[in-house]
């Protein structure tokens, strides 16, 4: 099933694979925006609207477009690291990952506290503010708990831990690597908390990426008939939406079962978007999407700050979730954030190239050189 209009394909399968990875990154970050979309409501008010048409629309966008983003990004990271470590020594590898992952995470968390908490102190918005020294340190480095402001950056913290573990993981034979994946799966399904990882499922998908590289699964999975992938994706996503909106009220609330369905949905969603990215890599949309790819990381890091600061102003015109104009605002949020990120990136590159390099983990600098 190839309904997309083709362009001149990249050189060989490797070129198409590289293009598909770039396209997938853009799709993933756009989906993440829906997960964190501005609603104008607190948790209790959101829960009351879960069964309304707008509440269901929001949940559908999160489950159908957002839930596969972190798994697919984790799989891609594992796939890439399997080759990266073969070319570089561990000291160079970890130094590079510290510059491209940890440094931007800390800088963006610091900016979030300055800008978002500062706006809250000024009375402009309702947002978390520092409550103790420990809160500030934890918010900055994602040490022990997920962030209150930049809730997406703990992914970078866990990803860096995975990179450190990769020094040993890539040297394990496949049976041993599968055993580690099984232990990680059991950890993900349990309620056990351990500070090594805030979300152990990230390591699980990271290992799947290493195995995909080792055994050549990337292209066979990408070329699976889209109809089959779509059916599995829709069925599991629909089940996930039902569980979160009605299933718990119906008594389906076993934690391990819910966690298992969640993981299965995330994997199937990741597979769907990987299949879609493979097809888009040779479509007319590919050039546009690949021009946006250098901004994807910047968008990932900055989108919640943009939402905290601008969401209430736009929401004053559209109203919060439940208002007549809110659905239009919800649907447009990824595109609005993307436009703001492009302006931010272009401004940083023009006015402060060093800051652009630091805040994008070197990605905008690499794009400029290219």
- Range with top average pLDDT, 49-53, 63-67, 209-213, 260-264: 209-213
pLDDT digits (tens, 9 = 90+) for 175-193: 999 999 999 999 999 988 8
* Ordered alpha helix ranges (H), 62-173: 69-87, 90-97, 103-112, 118-121, 133-141, 154-169
For range 276-305, the mean pLDDT: 95
Q: What is the pLDDT of residue 43?
A: 83
Instruction: Give the domain range for residue 200.
Output: 22-369
Residue 283's beta-bridge partner residues?
A: 6
**CA separation, residue 257 to residues 67, 247, 263 (Å):** 17, 12, 10
Please check whether residue 4 lies inside any domain of the structure: no
Q: 198-229 burial, b for 16+ CB within 10 Å, e for fewer?
A: bbbbbbbbbbbbbbbbeeeebeeebeeebeeb
Please check whether residue 104 lies inside any domain of the structure: yes
Quote the DSSP letter at residue 295: G
Residue 6's beta-bridge partner residues?
A: 283
Q: How confident is the model at residue 90 (pLDDT cuts 50, 70, 90)?
A: confident
Q: What is the pLDDT of residue 4?
A: 43
Q: How far apart are CA 321 and CA 303, in angstroms?
A: 19
Please check whether residue 281 lies inside any domain of the structure: yes
pTM over 0.85: yes
Q: How confident is the model at residue 138 (pLDDT cuts 50, 70, 90)?
A: very high
pLDDT digits (tens, 9 = 90+) for 334-364: 999 999 999 999 999 999 999 999 999 998 8
How buried is residue 184: exposed, middle or buried, by Cβ count under 10 Å (0-12/13-18/19+)?
Answer: buried
Q: Is the pLDDT of residue 6 over 70?
A: no
Please check whether residue 55 lies inside any domain of the structure: yes
Q: How far apart are CA 102 and CA 96, in angstroms?
A: 10
Total domains, the chain: 1
Q: What is the pLDDT of residue 51?
A: 80
Task: Output the six-digit token pair for 279.
Answer: 């097809």
Higher pLDDT: 122 or 8? It is 122
For range 265-275, the mean pLDDT: 93
Please check whether residue 6 lies inside any domain of the structure: no
For range 180-208, the mean pLDDT: 94
User: pLDDT over 90 for what percent of the chain?
Assistant: 74
Please check whether residue 248 lies inside any domain of the structure: yes
Q: What is the pLDDT of residue 10?
A: 55
For range 228-236, the mean pLDDT: 90
Please check whether residue 119 lies inside any domain of the structure: yes
Q: What is the pLDDT of residue 59?
A: 84
Please check whether residue 187 lies inside any domain of the structure: yes
């Amino acid at each position: 099933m190839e309904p997309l209009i083709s362009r001149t394909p990249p050189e060989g399968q490797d070129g198409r694979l590289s293009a598909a990875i770039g396209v997938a990154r853009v799709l993933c970050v756009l989906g993440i925006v829906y997960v964190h979309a501005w609603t104008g409501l607190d948790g209790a008010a959101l829960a009351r609207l879960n069964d309304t048409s707008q509440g269901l629309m929001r949940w559908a966008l999160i489950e159908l477009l957002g839930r596969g983003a972190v798994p697919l990004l984790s799989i891609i990271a594992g796939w890439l690291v399997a080759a990266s470590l073969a070319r570089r020594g561990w000291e160079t590898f970890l130094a590079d990952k510290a510059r491209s992952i940890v440094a931007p995470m800390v800088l963006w968390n610091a900016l979030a506290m300055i800008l978002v908490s500062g706006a809250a102190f000024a009375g402009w918005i309702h947002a978390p503010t520092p409550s103790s020294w420990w809160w500030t340190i934890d918010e900055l480095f994602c040490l022990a708990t997920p962030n209150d402001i930049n809730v997406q950056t703990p992914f970078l913290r866990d990803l860096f831990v995975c990179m450190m573990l990769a020094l040993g993981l890539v040297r394990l034979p496949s049976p041993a690597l599968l055993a580690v994946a099984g232990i990680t799966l059991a950890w993900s399904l349990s309620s056990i908390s351990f500070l090594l990882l805030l979300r152990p499922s990230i390591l699980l998908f990271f290992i799947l990426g290493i195995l995909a590289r080792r055994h050549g699964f990337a292209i066979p999975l990408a070329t699976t008939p889209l109809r089959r992938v779509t059916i599995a994706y829709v069925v599991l996503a629909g089940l996930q939406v039902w569980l979160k909106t009605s299933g718990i009220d119906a008594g389906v609330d076993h934690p391990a079962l819910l966690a298992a369905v969640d993981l299965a949905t995330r994997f199937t969603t990741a597979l769907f978007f990987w299949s879609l990215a493979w097809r888009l890599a040779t479509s007319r949309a590919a050039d546009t999407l690949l021009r946006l790819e250098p901004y994807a990381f910047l968008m990932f890091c900055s989108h919640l700050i943009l939402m905290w600061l601008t969401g209430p102003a736009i929401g004053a015109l559209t109203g919060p979730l439940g208002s007549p104009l809110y659905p239009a605002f919800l649907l447009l949020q990824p595109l609005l954030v993307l436009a703001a990120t492009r302006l931010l990136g272009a401004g940083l590159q023009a006015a402060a190239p060093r800051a652009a390099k630091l805040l994008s983990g070197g990605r905008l600098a690499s794009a400029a050189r290219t």
